[in-house]
Amino acid sequence: MILNNKGIGILGTGKYVPEKVLTNHDLEKMVDTNDEWIRTRTGISERRILEDDKATSFMATEAARKAIEDSGLSPEDIDLIIVSTVTPDMAFPSTACLVQDNLGCTNAAAFDLEAACSGFLYGLSMAYGQIFAGLVKNVLLIGAEALTRITDWTDRNTCVLFGDGAGAAVLGEVPEGKGILALNLGADGRGGKYLTQPAGGSLMPATKESVENRMHYIRMEGNEVFKFAVRTMADASMNVLEKANMEISDVDFLVPHQANIRIINSSRKKLKLPKDKVVVNLNKYGNMSSASIPVALDEAVKEGRIDNNDNVILVGFGGGLTWGSCLLKWHK
Ligand code: UT7
């Protein structure tokens, strides 16, 4: 979609990652893998693991609390809460409703969104549309994932990749010409089979067999997802630049989905972007699905790397298959 200049942007950000760290060396004791393979093939050194007695809504709430505080608003000012997750606390009520209650956002409608790792970008687009239409003023958007709860710790192909965490943003009005300048979403359902959690839905409800056959865990054909990601990331980034009549030289920062350093590097090279313009934190957290982009964004802003008037591209891809990108002129 091509956007006019009505100023809608991010007013505040926040993140939460669990304290417990699982290193590559810890994983060496669990499956047939090694630190060197994981670091060179993925770029990941460690990931965070959510405490057993907590769930996604806890991380979402903590990240959201910080984002609301950062925005200068109060919980009552939030009109809509969107939680992007593939690991909700339960099928229903939605995790967004649990967060609404935790935070006391008594004036907010609330729903969950599922677009796998692209969920934060889908959420940005939904938030933009709601605010643009005048239906709401302030939206709390959260990407929160407890992926280690659906990780098969006997499958070395996947268990080294994922981690838990949450990132949040409050969206609302910013001056004209600032904030979200362009958005792009896409999906290719033909590739849905490459990244799945087969059981637990209406197709395959939980049974003794589904549990025994490990059907409730993430299954992935990594090579297929890898090829799709490399194809998509650069194209989706160029798409939003073209919509805003900008060029790659106008980009100050790229905040990509944090799945694999090789995917990030090949996208960066395709785009001819220097290394210091790309935000990378997957060495610390692994792939946190829809939490990856908002956590990376929050860190880059709080570290003072991203500053007012910087042109920032957020870009991601994931299960579905889905992808999304957003061009922001940063203003806070
Ligand atoms: O958020 C979106 C979701 N997912 C992704 O973005 C993931 C996209 N895909 C990837 O990041 C990569 O495809 C992986 C990291 C999953 C795999 O890397 P790869 O370079 O594509 O490895 P591969 O699957 O081609 O496997 C190469 C070898 C295999 O051994 P053989 O068959 O050549 O003997 C694997 O069995 O590496 C082996 N291998 C491992 N070795 C040590 C696979 N996983 C491991 C491991 N430790 N953890």
Last residue of a domain, one of 178, 200, 221: 178
Rounded CA-CA distance 330/273 in Å is: 19
Active site residue 287: yes
Determine, yes or no, domain membership for 102.
yes
Last residue of a domain, one of 148, 178, 208: 178
290 phi and psi, to 5 degrees?
-70, -5
Among 214, 105, 106, smallest CA distance to 157 is for: 214
Bridge partner residues of 132 (DSSP)? none
Determine, yes or no, domain membership for 196.
yes
Bridge partner residues of 84 (DSSP)? 113, 143
Where in the sequence is the domain holding 288, given as residue range(s)?
180-329
Residue 212 pLDDT: 96
Kindly give the interhelix angle for 261-271 and 222-243, rounded to the nearest 10 degrees: 40
Question: How far, in Å, from the CA of 261 to the mean position of ligand 1?
Answer: 13
Q: Which parts of the chain sit beneath pLDDT 70?
A: 1-5
* Closest atom of ligand 1 relative to the 117 alpha carbon: 1
Q: Ligand 1, atom 12: nearest CA belongs to which residue?
A: 222
Rounded CA-CA distance 160/28 in Å is: 10
Question: How far, in Å, from the CA of 116 to the mean position of ligand 1?
Answer: 20
- Asked whether 35 lines ligand 1 (CB < 6 A), one says no
Active site residue 308: no
Rounded CA-CA distance 206/215 in Å is: 9
Same domain, 90 and 236: no
Among 104, 19, 113, 13, smallest CA distance to 63 is for: 13
Residue 332 pLDDT: 84
Domain count, the chain: 2
The tokens of 278 are what?
A: 């790309």
Determine, yes or no, domain membership for 214.
yes
Same domain, 234 and 222: yes
pTM equals: 0.96
The SS3 call for residue 252 is coil
* Cα dihedral across residues 116, 283, 37, 26: positive or negative: negative
**Options 24, 97, 105, 117, the catalytic residue:** 117
Same domain, 155 and 262: no
Same domain, 126 and 225: no
Question: How far, in Å, from the CA of 237 to the mean position of ligand 1?
Answer: 25
The tens digit of pLDDT for each residue in 206-247 reads 999 999 999 999 999 999 999 999 999 999 999 999 999 999
Active site residue 25: no
